[in-house]
Chains A and B, each alone.
Chain A
Amino acid sequence: MRITRYAATMAAVGLVLAGCSSDAGEQAEEAADNTVEVQENVDFEAGTTMAELAEAGSITIGTKYDQPGFGLLNPDGVPEGFDVEVGKLIAAELGIAPEDITWTETVSANREPFIQNGQVDLVVATYTINDARKQLVDFAGPYYVAGQDIMVAKGNPEGITGPQDLAGKNVCSVEGSTPAQNIRDQYPDAQLTLFDVYSKCADALTNGQVDAVTTDNVILTGLVAGNPDGFELVGKPFTEEPYGIGLELGDTEFRNFINDVLEESFENGDWAAAWDRTAGAITGEEAPEPPQVDRY
């Protein structure tokens, strides 16, 4: 009895709402489709990873699903973002169409193990190249250089102009991320508040539960874009975070191939187009100068 009444109420509310439309729905209708040109005739030396992947016609790429502008899962369950587009560019050069890519979520805890175990062929996941990681995996790229920055409430009520002003302030970031570790190591007087995703940091800043949010500038720009009346960027990046593409340690041929693909895309405009479709579409910013590939 009680349940049927409950269900009836819910259904009634649902019907009323069904008549309304939401901003999100309207925007989704306007969404443009994005295409990557897939190479038709590919030919690789037998025995290389490229030949294996091209032969199989499919590739597994790990990315993050919670990085605004770089890797987010859309409501249809398909990842979107700059990382995703870079992954598609590489797959296209292997003759693999976007729909033949298997996307796997890789978080900070499993990027290296997934590459080592062969559970993914590549990781494109706002993955900062550093020496400790080079011991475990190889990096192609960088394909983008981010920098850690600070986001504050509109008008900057706390007067934060750089990381040195964070002492004694509540600073939000994500547990297990490189930016959080940087703050711990370099600015130990800052009070860290650590969530598992950046959207919670944005909420906490809106509610005044924290004074600032810090992570790579590209992610912060995404958050500012969502709430331009509420947030602003300090705009003085204080680290360099070269994002690389992780692959199995010692697979030099594959690494060289990816580096070639990246350099080509820097030159022919594919890279800039990928930026405009994703991170650029959110923030409205022009594509930056492409970075220099590091063939270490």
Chain B
Amino acid sequence: MQFYVDNFGLFRDAFLTTLSLSLLGGLLALVLGTLLAAFRVSPITPLRGLATFYVETFRNTPLTVVFFFIIFGLPQIDFVIGFFPGAVLAIGLYTAAFVCEAVRSGINAVASGQAEAARALGLTFGQSLREVVLPQAFRTVVPPLGNVLLAMVKNTSIAAGFAVSELSSLLPRLVNANAGELVLVLIGVVVGYMLITVPSAFALHRVERRVAILR
């Protein structure tokens, strides 16, 4: 216990870093992912192609590689980005591809009659997507989207290798200073993640049940 008391400040700061990475990265991923999903069902071919290309590229690349290109690749085209904003960008861009796929599967799941009715009422593509399809899609999409976002929280651990002092970075740091306390450090880190993931999973189940609609 003394170990945790001594290092409480470290655990708290690292936890807050992981939390803010998750929140900001998640926000970016949701906005960009939804936009990409709209592109993927749009009538304009290049937009569809662009979105498909984006999704296939980011889904098939390890996050570490994405991180590398944001932090060390961008300076090669003369853009230098800070480490924390860089981490948010990497996590957001990567997760957006998965958000897009989740939202798209939701759009596909909205009964086609809904879209047809919207079209018959004279709504444009943008209107029918905004007013009719997306609000319904988001309901079906809650469980897969939740999974994507939970996975993202855990993915923030990659940022440790790119100069962001989040929870996982405590492993090498505290182990080097306290060689005998490996297991304690590990438990502390695991608990830190679970403080975020377990309540989120619980909240997701609640939301899921509340928005669930019978078809």
Contact = CB atoms under 8 A, between A and B. Distances in A.
B141 to A, nearest CB: 29
A49 interface: no
Given A133-B179, A209-B75, A196 B83 contact: no
B165 interface: yes
Interface string A200-240: 10011011110000000000000000000000000000000
Q: For chain A, give the interface size range.
A: 20 to 34
Contacts, number: 63
B83 A175 contact: no
Contact of A207 (B80, B175, B177): B80
Given A195-B163, A196-B160, A176 B80 contact: no
Contacts of A107: 172
B176 A108 contact: yes
Given A176-B176, A209-B75, A109 B163 contact: no
Nearest to A176: B172
Interface in A6-31: none
* Interface SS of B by simple majority: helix
Interface in A76-116: 107-109, 111-113
Contact of A176 (B71, B75, B173, B180): B173
A206 B175 CA distance: 30
B176 A203 contact: no
A56 interface: no
A108 B169 contact: no
A136 interface: yes
* Interface SS of A by simple majority: mixed
Nearest to A194: B163
B54 interface: no
A200 B163 CA distance: 10
A193 B173 CA distance: 13
Given A175-B160, A194-B163, A194-B169, A113 B182 contact: yes
A111 B175 CA distance: 11
Contact of A108 (B160, B161, B175): B175
A19 B126 CA distance: 52
A47 B144 CA distance: 62
B193 interface: no
Given A113-B182, A175-B160, A195-B161, A208 B176 contact: no
A112 B163 CA distance: 26
Contacts of A204: 72, 163
Given A109-B176, A177-B176, A207 B161 contact: no
Nearest to B74: A207
Given A113-B182, A193-B83, A195-B162, A181 B177 contact: yes
Interface in A240-277: none
B47 interface: no
Nearest first, the 7 A-B pairs at minimum CB distance are: A176-B172, A207-B75, A176-B176, A196-B161, A109-B175, A108-B176, A112-B179
Given A109-B176, A207-B75, 7 more contacts: A109-B171, A113-B179, A133-B179, A136-B179, A175-B165, A195-B162, A196-B161
